[in-house]
């Protein structure tokens, strides 16, 4: 498990480093193009400065920016006890040192994401639509998937990968704009020089056009791979892959589109928020693997372990594995040790306990509504006839009449 | 000449550094096991603390189930009285099944089920059961990791030198308890 974290990291660092090289090349091309033959080094420096500023901002404010762009609100245990319990349970299953902060987004489209610098100050955000659509087992599956992103350090890596891609896009766009406006001047200055400068200029333009596309592709590639891994670890936390599978199905079938998600934040969500339901998403430009495939892999798992996911992945995709070998070492031994103890691995699934006493879907939907009404300053008045009256904060009349039974409620 | 003297020295340094690495890995693994057990313990303690509250809530509604209630109280007392880790694990398993029976018979009491106090206690206890399960799952994982390091070559050499012993899994022995009580609360 700890080996898995390390192996994940090495592979992804390679991808991020190639993006860094791209950034450097772009900086060099920009420098040479605008400042002449000796401009390469200052160009690279400029690119590095842009990247550094963006990285520092992301490192210290990235999670806050992400949460506020998405319109997330922090909740406590009293607000949504079930969600809170589920997050607490998954924290234990993942063995994280500290429970992530819990946020809710008031949006009917079911979705979720995790963010944060490191496991100690991470946050998990879910939409109110998610809470209203899913039952407890499915919610647990989604939270497990997000917890896996935190435990596997994906949130950190995605932050860096996203910033790198962003820096490349900004530099390339600025460069292209500069070419349109003032590019002529720099070219005319070098007109009398060698023929090489013309080639450099063409190369620079090509790089400026290609770099942002490549950067996005790398970013998406990192993101796609991570989704499978998070599914695998998520399933190993709950030992109940069906929960996540049916949650993914429900989320992908939902007709609503999520507001407050951009192409920069899209890879962070459990399901791509920018794709319409039913749309195929199986090409290089997609941030997420196809949902059908994720569901099929989860459904054909024989048990709840990482090795089961790996086997199922190979069967469904007919391709190579997704989980690093070092992480699988000793995995069958877990099953063996458990079986020896008279305790098959899937038995650890607390699903039978969880399924029962949880508040019904209607109850948790009511809790979500209560939270957002309370946040907006609404007052709740329970009428004796069973109706709940919501009094807006700017309601001036001192009394309100129940629309069902006509009882007058004193509001002072 | 000098190289001839240096070679064994270099080899010795490499061997020592390699040993230090394994030793540190063993210590880290053992600390993870301790930390994981602490998490299990917190949840077990929480369940222990929730039970008097539960008995108090349920008592008024379930006069005809004195036996079930007493079983829970006794199981809780057994947990408090357990001395060794093995006894404790067994007592906790007994408490889990006693609670399972209590929730099963509560089905027959609609007044009790309608009580909001009982409903919230039930979510709390069910979630605590889940947390015990998940914490145990993680604990067993850390024990697995520790035992692999202690027993596999070459870690076993260093482990033997510094007396690292394999840890015990938190197993569920009770046959009845392993079949989690099938209860529907609809």
pLDDT at A224 over 90: no
Cβ(B121)–Cβ(B54) below 8 Å: yes
B185 to A92: CB separation less than 8 angstroms, yes or no: no
- pLDDT score for A361: 61
Give residue A258's pLDDT. 77
Quick check: A360 pLDDT over 70? no
| Residue A321: predicted pLDDT | 66
Residue A182: per-residue pLDDT: 62
3-state SS, chain A, equals: CHHHHHHHHHHHHHHHHHHHHHHHHHHHHHHHHHHCHHHHHHHHHHHHHHHHHHHHHHHHHHHHHHHHHHCEEECCCCCCHHHHHHHHHHHHHHCCCCCCEEEEECCCCCCEEEECCCHHHCEEEEEHHHHHHCCHHHHHHHHHHHHHHHHCCHHHHHHHHHHHHHHHHHHHHHHHHHHHHHHHHHHHHCCCCCCHHHHHHHHHHHHHHHHHHHHHHHHHHHHHHHHHHHHHHHHHHHCCHHHHHHHHHHHHHCCCCCCCCCCCCHHHECCCCCCCCCCCCCCCCCCCCCHHHHHHHHHCCCCCCHHHHHHHHHHHHCCCCCCCHHHHCCHHHHHHHHHHCCCCHHHHCCHHHHHCCCCCHHHHHHHHHHHHHHHCCCEEEECCCCCEEEECCCCCCCEEECCCCCCEEECC
**Which residue would you say has higher pLDDT here, B21 or B177?**
B21
Nearest CA in chain A to B148: A330
- Identity of the residue in A89, A333, A337 whose CB atom sits nearest the CB atom of B127: A89
Query: pLDDT of B99-146, one tens digit each?
Result: 888 888 888 888 887 777 787 888 788 888 888 888 988 898 899 889
In the structure encoding, which two tokens stand for residue A63, read together?
């999670």
Rounded mean pLDDT, A360-374: 75
Choose, out of B33, B133, B183, B185, the residue to mutate when testing the contact with A (most A CBs < 10 Å): B133
Q: Note the pLDDT of residue A284.
A: 53
Res A14 pLDDT > 60: yes
Catalytic residue of the set A89, A138, A146, A227: A146
Q: Best interface-test mutation with B: which of A91, A95, A239, A342 has the largest number of B CBs within 10 A? A: A95
Q: Looking at the complex, report in whole angstroms how far the Cα of residue A213 sits from the nearest Cα belonging to chain B.
A: 41
Domain boundary assignment for chain B? 2-178
Candidates A65, A67, A128; CA nearest to A100 is A67
A169 within 8 A of A53, measured Cβ to Cβ? no
Is the minimum CB–CB distance between A350 and chain B shorter than 8 Å? yes
Per the CB < 8 Å rule, is A95 touching B36?
yes
Give pLDDT tens digits for A39-68: 778 888 888 888 888 888 878 887 888 888
For residue B116, the chain A residue with the least C-alpha distance is: A359
Checking if the pLDDT of A341 tops 70, the result is no
pLDDT of A201 strictly over 70: yes
Segment A290-314, tens digit of pLDDT: 788 889 989 988 777 788 888 888 8
Residue A317: pLDDT over 50: yes
Q: How far apart are CA B7 and CA A253, in angstroms?
A: 68
Please answer yes or no on whether B133 and A343 come within 8 Å at the CB atom. no
Residues of A in contact with B136 (CB under 8 A): 348
Q: Does position B181 have pLDDT exceeding 60, yes or no?
A: no
> What CATH homologous superfamily does B2-178 map to?
LemA-like domain (1.20.1440.20)
* Residue A7 pLDDT level (bands cut at 50, 70, 90): low
Distances (CA, A) of A358 to A367, B91, B120: 13, 26, 9
Interface contact A343, partner B, CB < 8 A? yes
> Which of A1, A89, A348 is the closest to B131 by Cβ?
A89
Identify the closest residue of chain B to A339 by CA–CA distance: B171
Q: Does A337 touch chain B (CB under 8 A)?
A: yes
* Smallest CA–CA distance from A95 into chain B, residue: B138
* Residue A173: active-site member: no
Q: How confident is the model at residue A339 (pLDDT cuts 50, 70, 90)?
A: very low
A94: chain B residues, CB-CB within 8 Å: 138
- Structure-model confidence comparison of residues A164 and A282, the more confident one: A164
CB A108 within 8 A of CB A129: yes
Mean pLDDT, chain A, as a whole number?
76
Given its phi and psi angles, is residue B4 left (phi above 0), alpha (psi -120 to 50 degrees) or beta? Answer: alpha
The residue ranking higher by pLDDT, A287 or A135, is A135
Task: Report pLDDT for A316.
Answer: 81
Q: Above 50 in pLDDT, residue A220?
A: yes
DSSP state letter for B31: H
Is-contact A145 A244, C-beta < 8 A? yes
Q: Please report the number of interchain residue pairs, chain A to chain B, with beta-carbon separation below 8 angstroms.
A: 97
pLDDT at A303: 76
pLDDT class of B180 with cuts at 50, 70, 90: low
Q: Are B145 and A2 a contacting pair at CB < 8 A?
A: yes
């Amino acid at each position: 498990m700890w080996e898995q974290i390390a192996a994940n990291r090495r592979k992804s660092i390679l991808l991020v480093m190639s993006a860094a090289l791209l950034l450097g090349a772009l900086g060099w091309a920009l420098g040479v193009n605008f400042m002449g033959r000796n401009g390469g080094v200052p160009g690279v420096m400029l690119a590095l400065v842009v990247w550094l500023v963006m990285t520092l901002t992301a490192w210290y404010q990235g999670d806050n920016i992400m949460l506020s762009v998405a319109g997330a609100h922090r909740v406590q245990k009293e607000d949504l006890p079930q969600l809170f319990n589920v997050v607490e349970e998954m924290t234990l299953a993942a063995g994280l040192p500290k429970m992530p902060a819990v946020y809710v987004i008031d949006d009917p489209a079911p979705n979720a994401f995790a963010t944060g610098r490191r496991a100690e100050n991470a946050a998990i955000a879910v939409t109110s639509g998610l809470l209203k659509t899913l039952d407890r087992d499915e919610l647990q599956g989604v939270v497990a998937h997000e917890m896996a992103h935190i435990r596997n350090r994906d949130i950190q890596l995605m932050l860096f990968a996203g910033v790198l891609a962003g820096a490349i896009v900004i530099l390339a766009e600025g460069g292209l704009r500069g070419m349109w406006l003032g590019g002529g001047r720099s070219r005319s200055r070098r007109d009398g020089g060698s023929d090489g400068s013309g080639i450099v200029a063409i190369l620079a333009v090509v790089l400026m056009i290609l770099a942002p596309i490549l950067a996005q592709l790398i970013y998406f590639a990192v993101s796609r791979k991570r989704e499978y891994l998070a599914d695998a670890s998520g399933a190993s936390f709950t030992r109940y892959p069906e929960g996540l599978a049916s949650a993914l199905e429900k989320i992908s079938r939902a007709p609503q589109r999520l507001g407050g998600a951009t192409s920069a934040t899209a890879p962070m969500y459990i399901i791509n928020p920018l794709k319409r339901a039913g749309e195929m998403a199986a090409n290089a430009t997609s941030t997420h693997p196809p949902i059908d495939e994720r569901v099929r892999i989860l459904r054909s798992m024989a048990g709840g372990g990482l090795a089961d996911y790996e086997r199922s992945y190979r069967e469904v995709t007919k391709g190579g594995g997704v989980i690093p070998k070092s992480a699988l070492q000793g995995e069958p031994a877990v099953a063996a040790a458990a079986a020896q103890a008279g305790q098959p691995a899937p038995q650890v699934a607390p699903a039978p306990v969880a399924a029962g006493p949880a508040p019904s879907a209607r109850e948790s939907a009511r809790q979500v509504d209560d939270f957002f009404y309370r946040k907006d300053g609404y007052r709740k008045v329970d009428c004796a006839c069973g109706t709940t009256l919501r009094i807006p904060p700017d309601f001036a009349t001192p009394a309100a009449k129940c629309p069902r039974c006509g009882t007058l409620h004193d509001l002072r | 000449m000098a190289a001839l003297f240096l070679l064994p020295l270099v080899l010795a340094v490499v061997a020592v550094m390699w040993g230090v690495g394994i030793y540190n890995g063993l210590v880290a693994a053992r600390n993870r096991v301790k930390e994981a057990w602490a998490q299990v313990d917190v949840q077990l303690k929480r369940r222990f603390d929730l039970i008097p509250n539960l008995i108090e809530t349920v008592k008024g509604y379930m006069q005809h189930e004195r036996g079930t209630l007493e079983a829970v109280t006794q199981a809780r007392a057994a947990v408090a009285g357990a001395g060794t880790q093995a006894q404790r694990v067994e007592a906790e398993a007994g408490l889990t099944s006693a609670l399972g029976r209590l929730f099963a018979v509560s089905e027959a009491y609609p007044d009790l089920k309608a009580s909001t106090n009982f409903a919230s206690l039930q979510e709390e206890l069910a979630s605590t059961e889940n947390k015990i399960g998940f914490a145990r799952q993680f604990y067993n994982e850390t024990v697995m990791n520790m035992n692999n390091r202690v027993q596999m070559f070459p870690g076993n050499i260093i482990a033997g030198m510094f007396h690292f012993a394999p840890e015990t899994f938190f197993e569920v022995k009770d046959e009845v308890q392993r079949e989690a009580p099938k209860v529907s609360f609809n």
